[in-house]
Chain A
Amino acid sequence: MSQESPPFQMSTPASPADPTRPAPAPEEFAKIYQEHGRQVYYVALRMLSDPTQAEDATHDVFIKVYRNLDRFRGESCLRTWLYRITMNHCQNLLKSWQHRNIHSNAEDALWETQVGPENSPLEVLETQELGGRIQKTLDTLPLEYRKLLLLVADQELSYEKIAQITEQSVDAVRGKLHRARKAFAQHFKTTS
């Protein structure tokens, strides 16, 4: 099991909208949601394994974005910032669920299972089941691997940006991604 990085922290926690602070221009916030809403929902869905929770999480993330938009400007790329907020939010939810034993990871045993050969192409039958298999596979992986795989699946994110989001070196990202890909491919085969 790899070491977990500390949860991402925004510069300040999301708080109720400051009435002295001007609200973001409507077209500005609307554009952010329109362009990035899908990515935020997808990452939340695959991190939380629950469509309803992912819906709520996406809503909450964009409320945080709205309240903190003025803190973002000039600090980093918008996409990087959004991923940090999303992953931080989902990670906090997962931790609170674990504390309350709401979510049990029934696939822990699967993580230890030895499976087939590595690095072969992934073949998939029945496209309808694909999402379920991917989710099942991701659920067996350590959270850090899951986060890295979801980030690297976004072609617009360089390894450098993934390193920024996950607060580690680019070399560490590369090494962990290598192990994460291998673990994913192995476990994916067991879900068919």
Chain B
Amino acid sequence: MKKPKNNPPNATPTQPNLELTPEVSPEMQQVLTFETVEELLGYDFRETDTPERIGRKLRAALPQQEILPLKPVDPNATWKPRPKE
């Protein structure tokens, strides 16, 4: 399974039917390709920030507990499909 890729602005889009116009900004030309819904959701999970407020509220509610910051998401994580059963 290939990793979602952020193409550089000048790269050729991986799909021929994207209909990008020359006026499109470099940001707009970033193309992400996902082959499965779970791959897309996995990417969304990694890109979603978790508010630090949750930890602060837990610390206030459970002062005897040592609430530590959440583990960061590995930015290089790639989607690994489940083995065929």
Contacts and interface: CB of A to CB of B under 8 A. Distances in A.
Contacts of A134: 40-41, 44
Contacts of B28: 125-126
Contact of B27 (A51, A122, A126): A126
Contacts of A124: 31-34, 40
B61 A63 contact: yes
Contacts of B68: 30, 33-34
Nearest to A57: B54
Given A62-B54, A150-B41, 5 more contacts: A33-B55, A62-B58, A130-B43, A152-B38, A181-B38
Contacts of B54: 37, 41, 55, 58-59, 62
Interface residues of B, number: 45
A123 B27 contact: no
Interface in A118-161: 121-127, 130-131, 134, 149-150, 152-155, 158-159
Interface residues of A, number: 46
B67 A33 contact: yes
Given A38-B73, A41-B54, A130 B31 contact: no
B12 interface: no
A26 interface: yes
A39 interface: yes
Contacts of B35: 121-122
Interface string B17-45: 01000000001111111111110111111
Interface centre among B18, B43, B70 (most CB of A within 10 A): B70
14 contacts: A29-B65, A33-B68, A33-B70, A37-B70, A59-B57, A63-B58, A66-B65, A121-B15, A122-B33, A125-B31, A127-B47, A153-B38, A153-B45, A184-B37
A144 B55 CA distance: 29
Majority-rule SS of B interface residues: loop
A39 B46 CA distance: 10
A181 B58 CA distance: 35
Contacts of B50: 37-38, 41-42, 58
A123 B70 contact: no
A100 B19 CA distance: 45
Contact of A153 (B6, B18, B41): B41
Given A38-B70, A59-B61, A123 B41 contact: no
